[in-house]
């Protein structure tokens, strides 16, 4: 080969190689299957010496059609993560022993009950600590690392019988297995008798038990026809604070959860308790001050407003007495309190203006400031384009904090907060997201019909060109008392990748804007929130983004309910998808698990018929001309599939374009990966056919009729 030819070839290779690399690394649009590549990072827990943090990574395994959780550990300053649990053994809720030697976790291995397992932090396989007939629902370490408090629901007769059979099989392996017994009928006599993902409720309640690690002994320390939860040990290990509704004559009739204290070594099953709080609203999430004199907690001051009421941070003497509310000027939803910095401060998460931010309050009630910037706020915090979903703080005087943070462009990862700056320490999803081209979420403000300022997130199509109009999907959120936050969401990115502009409004009823904003839809669903949702559509049209002839709507839970409201009040939308929605609420009374909420907000249906009909779009079903897909979970008792069935039946009878999809065995929140994939593909097919006018059918081709 001549040198000139070789140089020419080499030159060509050198030119093409960077081009090939650039093409290979060029970001691509997100797909349906990318949903199953995203790892969910959660539950950060700092070690007692603040040098390590454990966390859980959840993976949706599409091929196996199941979900798996593994526990990892990483240095607080960042570095190489260490897997503490192996593939195939789903585990969660890792908690450090106060001496730092052990890590306890929850796992249901070998298709058994969820039990507590122990890991030596120096390495080795996990060993099962408890072997109980029922699941362990929660636990917490005592300060001396010698005991655990467990939350156990009273074992059912079936669980006790299964434990006996298991013990017999272990002692006599050759014994022939008995034929399974027919399940007995449920006998119901409680006011609150249903709960999604639990089923019918009886009088088996959750109580506190103390487990001694050395003796392997279990002692019940609370009892009664009440549910006890959220246990936390006093610093001296002698007492436990917990949350319970023990109101008379029937806890099922009220929201009156309070903070209680019980001796950890009592032998009378909690016959003598100290009631710490007496607020008639909901109190919960108790935490002890380092000196054991105070308990901080989350409180709702107006029980009549239940979920619409702002959740505040409060503090009370551990022995009971006058409580002090520390966040009255904040008027934002508070969660996850912890004493911080030796007890001088109380840290907490609060939502504000489409974000969730980490704050600290002076325990003496002298002010509130952001934990990251240490800037005082008055009277309201600054918005932040990130969402803190969980966090862990150091013990004693340590001021180390680890936060679980998401942004619109990245799922949850762990960050340390050092001198007001965030330092990312986990990179679970970095490799995947380096491949993806995402639509930047724009947080926009607009005016509603009555002049109220409303906000929301706007995602432009990936191929967006200014001046060009695009098919647009309005996505009302669930709740209704909730909000869209500054965090990654696969769905709007998927829709944007398929050529849609996507609107995520925070209408009245949303959190993060104050109690008055949240309660504006009280007993008036589908009115002001409808106006606010439509106002975002009008905003997108005015901005020259949305094509007014190619609009769609769809949501889940209250987002599905909002969709039903919207399509009965306007014919602007070319397609709709109502997931886990409802429209005929008198039929839900006694069928879902919201009877207490209904009566508080709407009254009894036979006494307040006009109010119930006012919030039921079913009575305007004749107005619907929008092709609508209804879907939901077969076992959903939060918003039962009944709501979709009724709307589907009505539209079918009227000769309108509609379809109903019911997912077997699913609750309100879907868990089965294949069902989630199916749902996403149906979204794209339905909108593509009826909004874009695609020739492809409204049902994905690979999915049978």
Q: In this structure, what are the phi and psi dihedrals at residue 349, rounded to the nearest 5 degrees?
A: -100, 140
How far is CA 43 from its chain centroid? 12
pLDDT of 9: 28
| Angle ∠(636,639,640) on CA atoms, nearest 5 | 55
Q: Do 112 and 206 meet the contact criterion of CB atoms below 8 Å apart?
A: no
Task: Provide the CB-side half-sphere exposure for 34 (13 A, CA).
Answer: 21
Neighbour-count burial for 334-367, b at 16+ CB within 10 Å, e otherwise: bbbbbbbbebebbbbbbbbbbbbbbbbbebeeee
Q: Do 53 and 76 meet the contact criterion of CB atoms below 8 Å apart?
A: yes
Q: Report the distance separating Cα 106 and Cα 128, nearest Å.
A: 9
Q: Give the list of residues 6+ apart from residue 529 with CB closer than 8 angstroms, or none.
A: 476, 480, 507, 508, 509, 521, 562, 565
Three-class SS string for 188-226?
A: CCCCCCEECCCEECCCCCEEEEEEECCCCEEEECCCCCC
pLDDT of 504: 98
Domain boundaries, the chain: 439-692
Provide block-wise average pLDDT over 10 residues at a time, the chain (705 residues). 31 33 71 98 96 97 96 95 92 96 93 92 87 97 97 92 80 56 87 93 96 96 97 97 96 96 94 96 97 97 95 97 95 96 92 94 89 54 74 83 95 88 93 96 97 98 96 97 97 98 98 97 98 98 98 98 98 98 97 96 97 97 98 97 98 98 98 98 98 92 55
* 376 secondary structure, DSSP code: B
Collapse the DSSP code of 403 into the 3-class scheme (helix H, G, I; strand E, B; otherwise coil) and give the result: strand
Q: Which residue has the tokens 């390590």?
A: 52
pLDDT of 14: 30
Q: Cis peptide leading into 420, omega within 30 of 0?
A: no
* 540 secondary structure, DSSP code: H
| Angle ∠(328,334,339) on CA atoms, nearest 5 | 95
Task: Compute the mean pLDDT over every residue in the chain, rounded to the nearest whole number.
Answer: 91
Between the alpha carbon of residue 523 and those of residues 2, 613, 621, 640, the distances in Å are 86, 11, 20, 20
Q: Report the distance separating Cα 625 and Cα 377, nearest Å.
A: 49
Q: Which residue has the tokens 């384009």?
A: 385
Q: Report the distance separating Cα 224 and Cα 203, nearest Å.
A: 9
Q: Report the distance separating Cα 446 and Cα 349, nearest Å.
A: 27
Q: Do 275 and 260 meet the contact criterion of CB atoms below 8 Å apart?
A: yes
CATH homologous superfamily of 439-692 equals: Alpha/Beta hydrolase fold, catalytic domain (3.40.50.1820)
Torsion of CA 274, 279, 280, 281, to 10 degrees: -110
Model confidence, pTM = 0.92
Contacts by residues 103-108 (CB-CB < 8 Å, ≥ 24 positions apart):
103/54, 103/71, 104/129, 104/139, 104/141, 104/148, 105/71, 106/136, 106/139, 108/135
């Amino acid at each position: 080969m001549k040198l000139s030819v070789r140089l020419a070839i080499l030159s060509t290779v050198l030119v093409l190689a960077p081009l090939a690399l650039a093409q290979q690394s060029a970001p691509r649009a997100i797909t349906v299957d990318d949903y199953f590549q995203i790892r969910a990072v959660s539950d950060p827990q700092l070690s007692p010496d603040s040098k390590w943090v454990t966390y859980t990574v959840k993976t949706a395994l599409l091929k196996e059609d199941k979900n798996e959780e593994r526990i990892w550990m990483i240095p607080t300053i960042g570095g190489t993560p260490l897997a503490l649990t192996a593939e195939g053994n789903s585990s969660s809720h890792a908690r450090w022993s106060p001496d730092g030697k052990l890590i306890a976790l929850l796992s249901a291995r070998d298709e058994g009950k969820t039990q507590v397992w122990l890991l030596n932090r120096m390495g080795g396989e996990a060993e099962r600590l408890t072997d109980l007939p029922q699941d362990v629902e929660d636990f917490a370490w005592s300060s001396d690392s010698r005991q655990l408090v467990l939350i156990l629901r009273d074992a059912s007769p079936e669980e006790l019988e299964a434990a006996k059979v298991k013990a017999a099989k272990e002692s006599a392996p050759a014994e022939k297995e008995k034929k399974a017994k027919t399940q007995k009928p449920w006998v119901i006599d409680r006011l609150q008798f249903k709960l999604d993902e639990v089923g019918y409720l009886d009088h088996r309640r959750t109580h506190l038990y103390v487990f001694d690690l050395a003796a392997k002994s279990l002692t019940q320390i609370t009892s009664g026809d009440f549910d006890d939860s959220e246990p936390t040990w006093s610093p001296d290990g002698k007492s436990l604070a917990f949350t319970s509704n023990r109101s008379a004559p029937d806890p099922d009739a009220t929201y009156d959860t309070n903070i209680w204290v019980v001796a950890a070594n009592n032998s009378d099953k909690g016959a003598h308790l100290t009631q710490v709080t007496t607020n008639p609203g909901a109190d919960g999430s108790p935490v002890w001050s380092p000196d054991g004199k105070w308990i901080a907690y989350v409180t709702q001051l107006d029980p009549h407003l239940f979920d619409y009421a702002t959740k505040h941070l409060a503090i009370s003497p551990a022995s009971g007495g006058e409580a002090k509310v520390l966040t009255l000027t904040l008027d934002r939803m508070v969660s996850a309190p912890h004493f911080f910095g030796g007890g001088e401060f109380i840290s907490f998460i609060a939502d504000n203006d489409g974000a969730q931010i980490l704050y600290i309050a002076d325990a003496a009630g002298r002010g509130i400031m952001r934990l990251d910037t240490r800037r005082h706020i008055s009277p309201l915090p600054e918005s932040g384009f990130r969402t803190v979903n969980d966090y862990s703080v150091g013990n004693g005087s340590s001021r180390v904090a680890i936060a679980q943070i998401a942004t619109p462009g990245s799922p949850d990862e762990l960050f340390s907060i050092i001198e007001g700056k965030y330092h990312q320490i986990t990179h679970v999803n970095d490799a995947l997201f380096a491949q993806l081209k995402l639509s930047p979420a724009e947080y926009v403000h607009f005016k509603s019909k009555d002049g109220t300022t409303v906000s929301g997130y706007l995602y432009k199509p990936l191929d967006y060109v200014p001046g060009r109009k695009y098919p647009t999907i309005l996505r009302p959120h669930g709740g209704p008392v909730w909000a869209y936050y500054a965090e990654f969401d696969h769905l709007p990115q998927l829709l944007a990748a398929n050529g849609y502009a996507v609107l995520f409004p925070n209408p009245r009823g949303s959190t993060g804007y104050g109690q008055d904003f949240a309660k504006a839809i009280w007993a008036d669903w589908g009115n002001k929130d409808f106006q606010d949702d439509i106002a975002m559509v009008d905003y997108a049209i005015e901005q020259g983004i949305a094509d007014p002839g190619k609009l769609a709507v769809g949501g889940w839970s209250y987002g599905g309910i909002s969709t039903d409201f919207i399509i009965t009040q306007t014919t602007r939308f070319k397609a709709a998808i109502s997931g886990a929605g409802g429209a005929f609420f008198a039929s839900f009374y006694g069928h879902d698990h919201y009877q207490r909420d209904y009566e508080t907000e709407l009254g009894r249906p036979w006494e307040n018929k006009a109010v119930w009909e006012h919030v039921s779009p079913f009575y305007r079903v004749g107005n619907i001309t929008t092709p609508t897909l209804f879907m939901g979970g077969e076992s959903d008792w939060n918003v039962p599939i009944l709501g979709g069935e009724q709307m589907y039946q009505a539209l079918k009878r009227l000769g309108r374009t509609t379809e109903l999809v019911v997912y077997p065995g699913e609750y309100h929140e879907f868990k089965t990966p294949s069902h989630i994939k199916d749902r996403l593909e149906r979204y794209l097919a339905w909108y593509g056919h009826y909004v874009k006018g695609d020739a492809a059918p409204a049902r994905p081709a690979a999915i049978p009729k």
